[in-house]
Amino acid sequence: MKLGKLKEIDIRKVFPHEQYDFSAWLAKQENINELGDTLNLSLNDVETEKFVGNYRCDILCKDEITGKTVLIENQLEPTNHDHLGKIITYASGLDAAVVVWVVASARDEHASAIEWLNKHTDDDLSFFLVEVHAYTIGDSEPAPQFRIIEQPNNFSKTAKALAEKGELNESQKQRLNFWNQFNDVIDARGNPFNKRKATTDHWYSVAVGSSKCHISVELINREQRIRVGLWIPDCKDLYDFLYENKDEIEKAAGVELIWDRLESKKASLICTYIKGLNFKKQDNYNELMNKAIDNVIMLKNAITPFI
């Protein structure tokens, strides 16, 4: 078998103009999705050239799962103090919760500055420093690649430390343990969807490509079962449309789903359950987690064509 050789090329040869070439390319949904996959974010509602006073940021969007505002500032050159100041100015002016600085190359002093910001801010504010490179194989078209240089502190490590100090109750410890193992299984299966950081919450959200709904895996230990469902927080019209296509969705899913319009609430739910959850008996965790992942994939594939 003849193998090609990977060759890096100057990113400016791929995108001569930062705004009209690179920012315009990145703002396309398929490309912003690639950046989101690298950062474990689900990015949508993309806006470009958003003004902050007399300045304008490159891209503003949202993380579909958390609803947080994400600011993306591009710099196709080595990092500098001017752009470091800009990202902080833009973040404050637009009330961004996630800041992504995409650069051609990161200087050590600026990587240290982003690391310092992540260490000295809480979980409500996150900073990413990302390099973009371009490669070819033989005569192939250039392929951009994102490389994380700095990112927010690992929440799971913080949560584990709290657990060891006795600052979490038993249920919180068990949920944190479950989600950490759940992420390991997602990794082992080749990341069929973006994983989220392990938390002490009883739910784990998965994006489906729309800000109107998301899939949630929920641990209901008191009922000894796991619920995998599509939550529609505030759009009865979407639920009604999906219900009109109930037979087709269930045929694609291969299971009979539970449909609940939740008449007295803003939210609606379409779900299925997995029996056997017991925090005190964990020998079936691998089986439960794989079933939950299977159900997420099944539900996502069945629902996505209709949203």
The region of weakest confidence among 22-26, 28-32, 40-44, 291-295 is 40-44
Q: How confident is the model at residue 295 (pLDDT cuts 50, 70, 90)?
A: very high
Q: How confident is the model at residue 195 (pLDDT cuts 50, 70, 90)?
A: confident
C-alpha–C-alpha distance, residues 61 and 67, integer Å: 10
Residue 302 pLDDT > 60, yes or no?
A: yes
pLDDT of residue 42: 82
C-alpha–C-alpha distance, residues 110 and 94, integer Å: 22
The region of weakest confidence among 10-14, 165-169, 252-256, 279-283 is 165-169
Q: How confident is the model at residue 157 (pLDDT cuts 50, 70, 90)?
A: very low
H or E element in which residue 111 lies: helix 108-119
Which has the closest alpha carbon to 193: 218, 226, 178, 215?
215
Q: What does pLDDT average to over the chain?
A: 89
Please state the domain extents for the chain. Answer: 6-150, 155-306
With a CB cutoff of 8 Å and minimum separation 6, the contacts of 200 are 159, 168, 172, 173, 175, 176
Q: Where are the beta strands (DSSP E) in the chain?
A: 6-9, 43-52, 55-63, 69-78, 98-105, 126-137, 143-150, 203-206, 214-220, 225-232, 258-260, 268-275
* CATH number assigned to the domain with residue range 6-150, chosen from the 4 options 3.60.20.30, 3.40.30.10, 3.40.50.10380, 3.40.1350.10: 3.40.1350.10
Looking at per-residue pLDDT, the higher value among 38 and 75 belongs to: 75
pLDDT of residue 146: 95
Mean per-residue pLDDT, 25-36: 91
pLDDT tens-digit series, residues 55-78: 788 999 998 877 889 999 999 999
Residue 181 pLDDT > 90, yes or no?
A: yes
Cβ pair 207, 199 in contact under 8 A? no
Q: How confident is the model at residue 24 (pLDDT cuts 50, 70, 90)?
A: very high
Mean per-residue pLDDT, 213-238: 94
Mean per-residue pLDDT, 215-244: 94
pTM over 0.75: no
DSSP state of 257: P
High-pLDDT (> 90) share of the chain, %: 64
Residue 163 pLDDT > 70, yes or no?
A: no
C-alpha–C-alpha distance, residues 129 and 76, integer Å: 13
Give the phi and the psi of residue 292 in degrees, each rounded to 5. -60, -45
pLDDT of residue 155: 47
Looking at per-residue pLDDT, the higher value among 210 and 31 belongs to: 31
Give the phi and the psi of residue 136 in degrees, each rounded to 5. -130, 160
pLDDT of residue 166: 62
Residue 162 pLDDT > 70, yes or no?
A: no
The CATH number assigned to the domain with range 155-306 reads 3.30.1460
C-alpha–C-alpha distance, residues 182 and 190, integer Å: 13
